[in-house]
Amino acid sequence: MTHDDDFWRLEKMHKLGLMCFHNDLRVADNPTLMQAASDCEKLICVYIQPPDDLFDGYAIAPTTLRRQQLYQSLDALDRGLGAFGQHIQAIADGSTEGLAALLERFDPSAVYRSEQANWRVQARWSSVAQRFPETAFCEVTSHTLFESSALPFKVANLPSSFSKFRRQVESLTIPEPIAAPASLPPPVTTPDIWRQRFSSAEQQSDTLIAGGEAAASRHTQTYFASNAAQSYKQTRNALDGWENSTKFSLWLACGAISAREIIHQLRHHETQQGANESTYWIYFELLWREYFQWYAHRHGDNISAFQGIATSTPNTSFYPQRFRKWCLGNTPYPIVNACMKQLNASGYMSNRGRQLVASCLVHELALDWRYGAAYMAQNLLDYDFASNWGNWQYLAGVGADPRGHRRFNLHKQTQTYDPEGHFIALWKGAECEARLDHVDIVDWPITD
Ligand code: FAD
C-alpha cells in the first residue's frame, strides 16, 4: 500500500453524521454504528422514539414499566458510548416533523439507522429523505440474522409460510457478531437534553429485568452456562417460570443484544454441553422471529390492516365492554384472566399464554384482533413490531398460517398447562364475573 492509499483510507466521507438509534440500543455487534463510525469525522448520537399511532388513529402509550425499561436501556447505551467519548445527545419523536427538526438542528451530511420493519417508520424516513435531498440516508441491517441480500429469494417473494421459509434459510451461514468499534468519532458540543425528557418516576428501576447491553449479555451468558437450554423444548410452553424459556425477547426487542450474538453463544454452548433437539429448537424459534421480521418488510401497511394479508375481513367486531374485560383479566376464562393479570403486573407473558389470550379474544369474544395486538403493543416489555403483529395476524386467521384458523380449546389447554391450577391461583384468574355481556345485541341492559 502506498502512502497515498493510506491517506485516502483515513479520509472520512462525511464531516458530520447523525446516528439514529431505534431498536439497536447497543454498542457491540451494531453494524449501523460501525458504518457511521467509519464514514464520519464527527458523530451525533440520538434516540428515535417509535411512532405512537398504529391503525385508524388508535394511539399507543407504552406503560410506565416499559418506559422505565427503555430509560434503563438508554442510560446503559449512553454509558457504553461514554467509553468512546460519545453519548446520546437527544431524543426525537419519530414523526416526520420530529425527524426533520433533528436534521435542521444538526445539519448532518449523512444519517444512519438500522433497517426498520415498521412500515410507518419507513414511510416517515422516506418522506424526510425527500425533504433533504442533499443528505445521505443510510440503512444498515442490525435487527435480523440475515441481510436481505443473503436470503435465497427476494423479500417480495417471501415464502407464504414459516415452514417453507425455514427450509430455505435454515442452513445459511449466519454472520459472526462484530466486536465493539475500536474508537468512535467525537460528538459535536451541544447541551444534552434527553434525560430531562424522562420523569424521575421513569428513572426508577423496579422492572422485571435490568435493561441495557451489559444486563443482556449477563443474562445470555448465565442462561447458556446453565443447562436450561438442554431441555428447552420440553419446558418452553410452560406458563410461568424464569428458566422455562430463554427470556431473550426482553432484550432483543430494543436491541440490547443482537440475534446473531445469541446464535453465537448458542453454538458455543453446543460445543460445551452438546447439541440436541432442544438447542436446535432455540434456533428454530429465532427463525420464527426472523420470518416475522421479513414478513413485516414484505407486507408493509397490511400488517396492521383488519383483513391482514387475507382476501376477506374476519367476522369479528369491536365490543368495548368485552375488550375491557379481556384487558383486565375479567372474562369467564380463568386461564386467560391469569395470563392477562400477569401481563398487566409484570409486562411479560409466556408464548403459550399469548396464544391462549389471542385465541380467546378472536374466537370466544369475537373481537377485532387489532385491539388485542395494540394492547400488547402497549404492555409487553418485549414489544417488537414485527413479532407482535405477525403473530396476531397468524392467530386471527389473516396471516401466514397455512391452516387459516387456529382456535385453542381453553378447557383442554388449562388441563395440559395448569393441571393443578397453581398458575390460575397465583394470578387470581378465577376471580371474575361469570357473565360476559351486560348489554344485549341492541345495547339493552341484560337483567337476571
Ligand atoms: P423463547 O421461547 O425462549 O424463544 C426464544 C426467542 O425466539 C424469543 O426470545 C423470540 O425472539 C423468538 N420467538 C419465540 N417464539 C416466537 C414467535 N412465535 N414469534 C416470533 N419470535 C419468537 N415476541 C416478541 O419478541 N415481541 C412481541 O411483541 C411478541 N408478541 C407476540 C404476540 C402474540 C399474540 C404471540 C402469540 C407471540 C408474540 N411474540 C412476541 C412471540 C413470543 O411469544 C415471544 O417471543 C416469547 O414468548 C418471548 O419469550 P422468550 O424469549 O422466553 O421465548
pTM of this prediction exceeds 0.75: yes
pLDDT in tens, the chain (448 residues): 334 444 444 578 999 999 999 999 999 999 999 999 999 999 999 999 887 777 766 777 889 899 889 999 999 999 999 999 999 998 888 889 999 999 999 999 999 999 999 999 999 999 999 999 999 999 999 999 999 999 999 999 999 999 999 999 999 999 999 988 899 999 987 665 556 555 555 666 566 678 899 999 999 999 999 999 999 999 999 999 999 999 999 999 999 999 999 999 999 999 999 999 999 999 999 999 999 999 999 999 999 999 999 988 999 999 999 999 999 999 999 999 999 999 999 999 999 999 999 999 999 999 999 999 999 999 999 999 999 999 999 999 999 988 877 899 999 999 999 999 999 999 999 998 878 887 777 777 777 6
C-alpha pair distances (Å), 404 with each of 4, 206, 293, 395, 408: 62, 41, 20, 8, 13
3-class secondary structure, 247: coil
User: Strands (DSSP E) along 95-172, which ranges?
Assistant: 110-114, 136-140
Architecture of the 12-143 domain: 3-Layer(aba) Sandwich (3.40)
Report the separation in Å between the CA atom of 387 and the middle of ligand 1, taken as the mean of its atom positions: 7
**Gyration radius of the chain over CA positions:** 23
Question: Among 285, 303, 340, 363, which residue has the most ligand 1 atoms within 8 Å of its CB, making it the best to mutate?
Answer: 285
pLDDT of residue 436: 84
Architecture of the 144-176+212-299 domain: Alpha Horseshoe (1.25)
Residue nearest (by alpha carbon) to ligand 1 atom 44: 351
Atom of ligand 1 nearest to the CA of 286: 7
Q: How many CB atoms lie within 10 A of CB 411?
A: 10
Atom of ligand 1 nearest to the CA of 246: 3
pLDDT of residue 191: 61
Report the separation in Å between the CA atom of 384 and the middle of ligand 1, taken as the mean of its atom positions: 9
Residue nearest (by alpha carbon) to ligand 1 atom 50: 247
pLDDT of residue 260: 98
pLDDT of residue 6: 43
Residue nearest (by alpha carbon) to ligand 1 atom 45: 249
Report the separation in Å between the CA atom of 351 and the middle of ligand 1, taken as the mean of its atom positions: 6
Extents of the domains making up the chain: 12-143, 144-176+212-299, 320-426
Report the separation in Å between the CA atom of 238 and the middle of ligand 1, taken as the mean of its atom positions: 13
User: Any residues with CB less than 8 A from the CB of 64 and at least 6 apart, and which?
Assistant: 201, 202
Pocket of ligand 1 (CB under 6 A): 236, 245-249, 252-253, 282, 285-286, 288-289, 292, 350-351, 354-355, 358, 376, 380, 382-384, 387-388, 391-392, 395
pLDDT of residue 402: 84
pLDDT of residue 3: 42
CATH of the domain spanning 320-426, picked from 3.90.600.10, 1.10.579.10, 3.40.640.10, 1.20.1090.10: 1.10.579.10
User: Any residues with CB less than 8 A from the CB of 21 and at least 6 apart, and which?
Assistant: 45, 46, 47, 48, 77, 88, 113
User: Strands (DSSP E) along 105-246, which ranges?
Assistant: 110-114, 136-140
Sheet holding 110-114, edge to edge: 88-93, 40-49, 14-21, 110-114, 136-140
pLDDT of residue 286: 98
Hey, do 12-143 and 320-426 end up sharing a CATH topology, with the first three levels equal? no
pLDDT of residue 198: 59
Atom of ligand 1 nearest to the CA of 253: 25
Nine cell digits for residue 40? 464520519
pLDDT of residue 200: 59
**From CA 142, how far away is CA 32, in angstroms rounded?**
7
Question: Among 239, 249, 251, 352, which residue has the most ligand 1 atoms within 8 Å of its CB, making it the best to mutate?
Answer: 249
